[in-house]
Structures are given as C-alpha cells and as structure tokens.
Amino acid sequence: MACHVDFRCLDEGFGGKTYKRKRALQQQEAVEDATTAEMDMDFEESGSNPSKRQAVSSAEEPNKPVIGRPTYDGVIAGRVSGRNWKQVRTHRASAINVSKKRSTAEERAREKEIKKAYQERKKELTEAIRQNKVAKRKQREEREKKKKENILKSGTKLQKITNPKTLQRIAKSKQRKLLKLTFFRAEKGERSSSTGFVQTRGTRFILNGSPFLFNGFNSYWMMRVATQPSQRYKVSNVYREATAAGLTVCRTWAFSDGGDQALQMSPGVYDERVFQALDFVISEARKYGVRLILSLSNNYKDYGGRPQYVKWARDAGVHVNSDDDFYTNNVVKTYYKNHIKKVLTRINTITRIAYKDDPTIMAWELINEPRCQQDLSGKTLTIWVKEMASYVKSLDNKHLVEIGMEGFYGDSMPNKKQYNPGYQVGTDFISNNQIKEVDFTTIHAYPDIWLSKKNDNEQMIFMRRWITSHGTDSSTILKKPLILTEFGKSSKDPGYQLSARDTYMNAVYHNIYTSARSGGLAGGLVWQILAERMEPFDDGYEIVLSQDPSTTRIIAQQSRQMASLEHTMSK
C-alpha cells in the first residue's frame, strides 16, 4: 500500500506547539538581524548618522516629510531661514540664534551708552599717558641741562658753572690755577646777566671796569621764528649751543616792516604778537648771558627796510623819487624815528624791563649795510647818521650806537679808496664814523661776493688788507673800537668744500685775534648760526653748530683765545 508523507507537518507531531513557537521566534530574530544589517550598510554608504539624513517629502505636501525623522538642522533651517525642505541647505544655522531673544530698545540704548563711556574713558587714559610721557621728557631734559651746567668742560667747549658745591670743590682743588680762566669767564657771565652795560673807553669795550673782548655770531631770524611759540625752542637751542662754544654776542633784527608776520604792519601800527616774540629773544639772551646788537632797519627790501618806508610815503601821497629818499625825505625820516622810539621804549612783557634799560642789549644799529647811490661821496649818509644817532641818544644814553656799515671808504680820504673792492656804495668809513654819537665802528667782509672772479688766495689777501686797514684807521684816526660784524664763506661758491670754509674761518679768526692784540678789532660775528631743521633760512653761509663739528671746534678755539686775551688785558 503506497502512501505520501508531508514532511512539512512532521515537526507538529514531534513537539507540537512548543517547537512551533521556537521556530516563529527564530524567524523573527532572523528578520530583525537582516534589517539591522541593511541599516548598517546604508549608514556606511551615506557616511553620516541616520538621524542627520534629510527627510523625504511626500507628493501631497512637499514641505512636510513623510518618512524618516526630521533632522534638527532641518527644523532650524525651516524655521529660521524659511528654506523649503527640498532646498539645499547653504549654511548651518546655530541653535543659539533660534533660542536668542531680540533685545529691547532700552537695552540697546544702554549698550550704546556703555560703549560710548568706554571710548571716552579710553581717550582720557590715552591722553593721560601722553601727558605723563611729555612731563617725564621735560624732567629728563631739565636734568640733562642742569648736569651740563654743573660739569666743567674742557677741550673745545666752555661752560658756566653755577652749582655752589662744584665751585667750592674747584676752589679747594690743587689744580685751581689751571681753572683760573674758566673762573673768570663764569664770574664775568654772572655780572653780564645782572646790571653791567657795555661801554667804550678809547679803542676798547669795557664791561664793569674790565676790557671786554668776545667772539659772536649773527642770527637775524630770531624774532621771525619766535613769532610761532611752537618754534621758540630753536632760539633757545642756538643760544645754548652758542654759549657752549664760547659765543657771547649775537646780532639780530629788531625790525620787520610790512609783509608777512611784520612787526610794523604800517607806519606806527605794530603787531603785539611779533613784539612779544622779540621780548622772548631778549629774555632768552639774558638767560644765557648773551649780549645783543639789535638792528633797527635794513638797506634792502628783505623784511621791509628802506624800500618799505619809501613805499609807505608814496602810498600816502608824498612825492619821492627813489629809495635814497629814505635819508632825506622828512616824512620818511619821521616814520623811522617813530619806529626807533617804539622799540627803545618798549617794556619787555617777560622781564618787565624797558629795552632802553636792559643791559642785555649791547648796542643799537641804525641800519644794516646802508648805501646811497645818489651820493657816492658819503656826505648824504653822514647828515642822516648825525640826525638819527642823536635821536637815539636822546631817548637812551645807556646803550652804545653804531651805524651798521660794511666799511667802504668815501671821498673824505681818497687814498683809502684803494682798499675798496673796486667801487663805492655811498658811504664813507671815516667821515660817517667821526660823528661823536657813534660809539664804535663796524665792517663786513664778503670777498667771495665782492671779488667773485678772484681765486681764494686773492680773496684772502683782500681780507687781510681790509681788516688791517680798518683796524688801524679805527684805532688811530677815529679812536673807537671796531667789530667785524659780518663774515663767512658760502657753500654756493664754485668748488666749495667744507675744509675750504674751515681754512678761511681759521684765517679770519687769526687776523681778528692779531688785530685785537694790537688794540684793533674787539671781536667778530660770523654769519650765520642756525638751529637744526631750518632749511628755509639757508643762504649758503649757514652753520649748524650741532651738525658741523669741525667748524664748531674752530669757533670754540677762537672763543678761548679771545677769552684768554681778555683775561690778560684785565690784569
């Protein structure tokens, strides 16, 4: 008998429901394992967490996901940026931006106030730091200044000692005799800064009863520069460097007529700001023990001078022919006399001393380099000098007066014309200076200009004859002291070299010293000394003591020699 066995039901006969339940559990576990393996494979393929996968949108509602769980980034993107679920996310929003609440208007205003207060405080602290640095720098400069004043220098520099303890130590030193000259200069500097007026006795200058010899300089620009308070330090620097080199006399302008930064803006009308600049120049000279020769006008149009006075008269309807009418026209002469009176009676706003009573001023100069082409004989100028020198003396009989001449000879002594550089300029060194109100004589020397076609050797020969001739005439004929008030060598000369200038100055200083020993010249004023960073005033003759060490050594050496000669004469 044949039969068929259905093996699919065999297990029910061998275990019944128990094995059936186990089989069902096994099948369920197998399905779960397969599902887990499939998910792991998807995760590995996608390279990211399933919870971070983009949700799939449905056909009915594109903005709403159907399957999968919406990602956190997706929620942020939808709520913050307004991006649809299908749109590609360009940036990942931050959760802090979702939860951040907008600040109120009051809070924002408060934040602005805090920020503003912070900025203001920051500025205050910055300014306080800056001022503190400035104060420390000034203190440091003062310390350095006092240190220089209290150290005795030797070699190429001189220095005034003011510290009493230092003076006592030097007085007790065994080498006191070696320092005798320096003591003399310091003592004289103390006297010169107090009450002593420079006077004349025969062919010598006298200060407090003793002979007065010196080495000096020109700095015509001082009042102009001091008009700007921020630039006044340049005046102080020049005084300080000059005194360190032994220079004790300075010649500068006490005029500026018309034009820019004028002292006298129109006849009798003055700018107080510029006058206060001149006050400063005089007060600083007093501080550093420097004597001043103040010039009251100019022959040239620079800073106004003679041409400006004539122009003022012409503008006022006065008939004038040329600039030479400055010496003859009564209106023009009145303008000039008014300026003399204004300057001499000025009371210094710093020292509270009238100019005419200030011993810091050594002398008044009537005019810088007077010339008169209408009368080359010098007679016209003689009449003018007589009138103006007498007027100055009527206002001020304490100070010396000089003309401001270059030294050209005129018709009074025709044989002297051979010493001129080949021409006349309307002055007469002899007759002009014979006026009794003129206390001393002056000469200028510019062979590089007057004899520009001559070589250096010929120019030097002329210089020696020029100094010797005037020294002799001043001491024997005029019987008055003589000063070489301008000399120098220009860097604009053809083939100029610094060594050539130093050689020239050495030669001039030697001639001055030789003349001084024989009773001729009393000193020389080199043209011109500038401070650093004063290029607009460069004229080729400028010397910056702090930048020209070789020239500074020559100047200081001359100062020592003149001081030594002065000391010898005072015995």
What 3 state SS string does 483-496 have?
EEEEECCCCCCCCC
Q: What is the DSSP letter of 536?
A: G
Q: What is the mean pLDDT of residues 291-311?
A: 95
Q: What is the mean pLDDT of residues 534-551?
A: 91
The whole-angstrom distance between residue 377's C-alpha and the CA centroid of its chain comes to: 45
Pairwise pLDDT comparison (85 vs 122), residue with the higher score: 122
Average per-residue pLDDT for the chain: 82
Pairwise pLDDT comparison (25 vs 492), residue with the higher score: 492
Q: What is the mean pLDDT of residues 32-49?
A: 56
Q: What is the mean pLDDT of residues 395-415?
A: 94
Rounded CA gap, 563 and 215, in Å? 9
Q: What is the DSSP letter of 411?
A: T
The whole-angstrom distance between residue 357's C-alpha and the CA centroid of its chain comes to: 31
Amino acid at the residue 466? W
Asked if residue 409 lies in contact with residue 477, where contact means CB atoms within 8 angstroms, the answer is no
pLDDT digits (tens, 9 = 90+) for 167-191: 666 666 655 544 544 433 433 443 3
Predicted local confidence at residue 50, as pLDDT: 46
Predicted local confidence at residue 77, as pLDDT: 46
Q: 150: exposed, middle or buried (C-beta count within 10 Å: 0-12, 13-18, 19+)?
A: middle
Catalytic residues: 369, 486
pLDDT at residue 568 greater than cutoff 80: yes
Predicted local confidence at residue 185, as pLDDT: 40
Pairwise pLDDT comparison (499 vs 391), residue with the higher score: 391
Q: What is the DSSP letter of 87?
A: S
pLDDT digits (tens, 9 = 90+) for 258-274: 988 999 999 999 999 99
Predicted local confidence at residue 19, as pLDDT: 60
Q: What is the mean pLDDT of residues 141-153?
A: 68
3-state helix, strand, coil in the chain (%, to 5): 50, 10, 35
Count other Cβ atoms within 10 Å, centred on residue 564.
15
Instruction: Name the 3-class secondary structure at 293.
Output: strand
Q: 505: exposed, middle or buried (C-beta count within 10 Å: 0-12, 13-18, 19+)?
A: buried
Predicted local confidence at residue 105, as pLDDT: 85
Residues 6+ apart with CB under 8 A from 392: 340, 344, 364, 366, 401, 437
Please tell me the pTM assigned to this model. Answer: 0.68
Integer angstrom CA distances of residue 6 from 10, 16, 23, 252? 7, 15, 18, 141
Count other Cβ atoms within 10 Å, centred on residue 133.
10
